[in-house]
């Protein structure tokens, strides 16, 4: 048996966990890249997600607040990947706008494009959209500020 077979599988989100403090079951980032100055990200919601059992039995959907949280987490990873030095952990300060156009369902992948309106070490102002299969599911604009430890 080779040593590779005995080695534990590498966590595919290891890089993301090194960038933001979120952990399961509240980590909603699978992949983030910077493309032409924008944050391009994705998240697949597996059928095993904790919220599907109660939201809603018989017709499970990703809660809208989780869709917004997913955008913000991906935006946070993207800001750091762009090299913007952050002064601490960011927390929501304001949701300026949020629109839900279709539900997210178990097993679906949310593809996101997020842009910075303003990004400093203490304030991040972003807007973004997430789509499933090319159909817009969520659009939002938000502001995050550094928490008390920053």
Catalytic (active-site) positions: 55
Q: Burial-class residue 10 by CB neighbours within 10 Å (0-12, 13-18, 19+).
A: exposed
CA distances from 109 to 44, 53, 96, 118, 137 (A): 4, 19, 25, 27, 11
DSSP-derived pairing of the beta strands 38-44 and 123-132: unpaired
CA angle in degrees (0–180, nearest 5) for 63-78-121: 105
DSSP bridge pairs for 98: 140
Token pair for 130:
């997430």
């Amino acid at each position: 048996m080779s040593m590779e077979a005995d080695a534990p599988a590498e966590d595919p989100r290891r890089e993301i966990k090194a960038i933001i403090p979120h952990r399961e079951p509240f980590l909603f980032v699978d992949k983030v890249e910077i493309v032409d100055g924008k944050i391009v990200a994705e998240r697949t919601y597996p059928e095993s997600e904790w919220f599907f059992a109660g939201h809603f039995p018989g017709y499970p959907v990703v809660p809208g607040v989780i869709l917004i949280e997913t955008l913000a987490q991906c935006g946070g990873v993207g800001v750091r990947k762009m090299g913007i030095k952050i002064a601490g952990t960011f927390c929501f300060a304001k949701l300026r706008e949020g629109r839900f156009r279709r539900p997210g369902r178990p097993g679906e992948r949310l593809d996101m494009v997020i842009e910075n309106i303003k990004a400093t070490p203490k304030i991040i102002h972003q807007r973004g959209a997430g789509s499933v299969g090319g159909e817009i599911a969520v659009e939002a604009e938000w502001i995050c500020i550094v928490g008390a430890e920053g």
